[in-house]
Structure 1
Amino acid sequence: MQLTAVLTPAEEGGYVALNPETGTTTQGETVEEAVANLREATALYLSEFPLPSTGNPVVTIFTIPTPSHA
């Protein structure tokens, strides 16, 4: 099963990792540690609350213009 990991830098250092399909969130000092922790937390969640297989997630990014101050 492929799931999504969204990582953002944490204020105190390291990364916060979120799986949007399940809402599980964790953290780690490195990207690799954050993803490993998220994998474990998500597996535990899914052992109690299985998700139907819906295919592979599609992830993209977008930008918005920043306001210019005249």
Structure 2
Amino acid sequence: MDGSKSKIEFVESNLLGIQPEPPEWPERNEIDNVKTELNASFLVFSRTPTLMVYVMLLLANFTARSF
């Protein structure tokens, strides 16, 4: 760098974790619905951690016995 001018370097937006807005997908409404349902389930589980543990154990048992 020569010191007379400061050079600004741009960082790629993907490196900062910024994702561009995806184009209109036909499944976009379904994805939004799934996100809404996930947020609702996290709200329920955050208020009832015991229930979350029971569901996790149930899923683990089901997974272990299904193989």
Q: What's the TM-score, normalizing by structure 2?
A: 0.29
Pick the structure with greater CA Rg.
Answer: 2
TM-score relative to the length of structure 1: 0.28
- Structure richer in strand, relative to its length: 1
Larger helix proportion of the pair? 2
Q: Which has the higher contact order (CA 8 A, sep 6+)?
A: 1
